[in-house]
Amino acid sequence: MQYVSTRGQVAPKGFIDTVLMGLADDGGLMIPAEIPVISPEALEEWKNLSYEELFQQIFSLYINDEIPAEDLKAMVKRSYASFRTPEVTPVNKINDSLYILELFHGPTFAFKDVALQFMGEFYSYVSKKQNEIIHILGATSGDTGAAAIQGVRGKDGIKICILHPHQKVSKIQELQMTTVNDENVLNLSVKGNFDDCQKVIKDLFADLDFKAKHHLRAINSINFVRILAQTVYYFYAYFHIDAEAQASKKVNISVPSGNFGNIFSGFLAKRMGLPIHKLIIATNENNILERFVRTGEYKPGDFKSTHSPSMDIQVASNFERYLYYLLDENVEKVSEYMKQLQTEGKIVVSPELLARVQNDFAAYGASNDECLKYIGEYNEKYDYLLDPHTACGIAAYQECSEEDEVTITFATAHPAKFDEAIALCMIEQKFPEQISALLTKPQYQQVVDHDQDEIVRELEKFYGDK
């Protein structure tokens, strides 16, 4: 399998080089040159596989011979040994039309662990096998940074530096990042907001000399290895609802969405032949994706702070991947549309294309009030405590699912991680001990100004020979 860029200006690459590159050198995103399709017979055989076995099957279609099967198996095993349940992502039946896939049983209690635990193993493997120096650099609004740090802490050959906006992430998110005291981890707490952090990172990666000199590697959700790791649980979820529902009902999946990474993995799974009926994009009041599915206009709006901060995103960085398929893999057209987004601040698709979008996706954006309403309602009715991101997924299920359908809603975080919203519902929750334990640990972080030069100095100190 070869990988190409959505903008067509990168020579085809293998799997490992694709992951190491991160953002494509032409500014586009890397995608497989063709998507493998699983036959219904093979799908039938996959039904009984464990999570790890399923992972291995799916990856083997994408990694060529670049990683021997035995090595992959060991990496997958180590990746998911840190999860609190052997099922990795258990499926919970709520009622006859609703299942919840719990994606929060990893070390940082949010879905990003599923992909980033593997990504840590992957980088560690590449560092050893290919003698690559790996310096991971990223910005986070909370969940990604915590999961990435947990994915690589203590691993040889890798250093990780994460920028987060000073005092603008949730308390638990901050503690998950800053209570890690491994030598290969640096937390920079930047006096500014998330966009400021993101901008610094973007500028450093855009400086190709700096990027090469310091061996910078990305962890953000535009990395294809994350997308692929996330497809595994779409298959797993589908296989673990009742056999009768699989056989007689249409199966939808509702995904709390921000950067369009998670749901793009669903789009990929569907293209691979998984019989998903509707992929439901659930957003909060930052509803650019919902507006796109309804009207065909993709236009960033005003930023709103909501109860589900990990979905407070205006520009969905993985959207370009979908655009590529919507435009029938026409790289010139993708480049044109992306340029238009830059110059005119929006993309508008034709009515014919909009019809196809609506065939691929349903969408709903939950208001802050609805989010809290569903947390209260589900706690009362089903004795199931939703986190505010998952509550948006539930709102979208309530809105978009029909009579003869069942929906699997993804639970992307554990409610303990976002107690601020739970407390607003007058619900007192018991924290898992791993989270309570964080509250008394010492923190390790460097507070810096939003100043590129100061950040570069800190980085050079961190990368210097030790």
Ligand X SMILES: *Cc1c(COP(=O)(O)O)cnc(C)c1O
Q: What residue ranges bind ligand X (CB under 6 A)?
A: 110-112, 143, 221, 256-262, 310-311, 389, 412-413
Side chain identity, residue 445: Q
Q: How far apart are the first and last CA of the chain?
A: 39
In angstroms, give the least distance from the CB of 239 to ligand X: 22
Distance CA 167, CA 165 (A): 6
CA distances to 110, 145, 206 from 340, rounded to whole Å, are 34, 31, 21
CA distance 390 to 102: 10
Supply the minimum distance, in Å, between the C-beta of residue 375 and ligand X. Answer: 14
Cα distance between residue 425 and residue 341, in whole Å: 39
Cα 14 from Cα 2, distance rounded (Å): 5
Q: Which amino acid is at 77?
A: K
Provide CB contacts within 8 A for 262, sequence distance 6+.
Answer: 111, 230, 255, 256, 410, 412
- 112 is an active site residue: yes
- Provide, rounded to whole angstroms, the least separation between the CB of residue 407 and ligand X: 17
381 burial type by CB count under 10 A (0-12 exposed, 13-18 middle, 19+ buried) = exposed
* Active-site pick, 13, 47, 73, 112: 112
CA 263/CA 207 separation, integer angstroms = 30
Which is closer to ligand X, CB of 106 or CB of 258?
A: 258
Cα(396)–Cα(132) distance, rounded to whole angstroms? Answer: 44
Minimum distance of ligand X from residue 2's CB (angstroms): 25
Paired sense of beta strands 216-217 and 134-139, if any: parallel
* Separation between Cα atoms, residue 322 and residue 62, nearest integer Å: 19
CB of 413 to ligand X, least distance (A): 4
Residue 113 or 121: the one with the smaller Cβ distance to ligand X is: 113
Nearer residue to ligand X within complex by CB, 121 or 143: 143
| Nearest distance in Å: CB 102, ligand X | 12
Count CB-CB contacts under 10 A for residue 357.
Answer: 18
CA dihedral 28, 29, 30, 32 (to 10 degrees): -110
Residue among 325 and 463 whose Cβ is closer to ligand X: 325
Sign of CA dihedral 258, 264, 265, 266: positive
Q: List all residues 6 or more positions away from 109 whose beta carbon is below 8 Å from its beta carbon.
A: 413, 414, 416, 417, 432, 434, 435
Taking the C-alpha atoms of residue 384 and residue 363, their distance in angstroms, rounded to an integer, is 24
| 361-365, strands of its sheet edge to edge | 91-95, 98-102, 405-411, 250-256, 279-283, 361-365
Residue 253 beta carbon to ligand X: minimum distance, rounded to whole angstroms: 13
Least distance from ligand X to the Cβ atom of residue 147, Å: 8
The residues assigned a catalytic role are 112
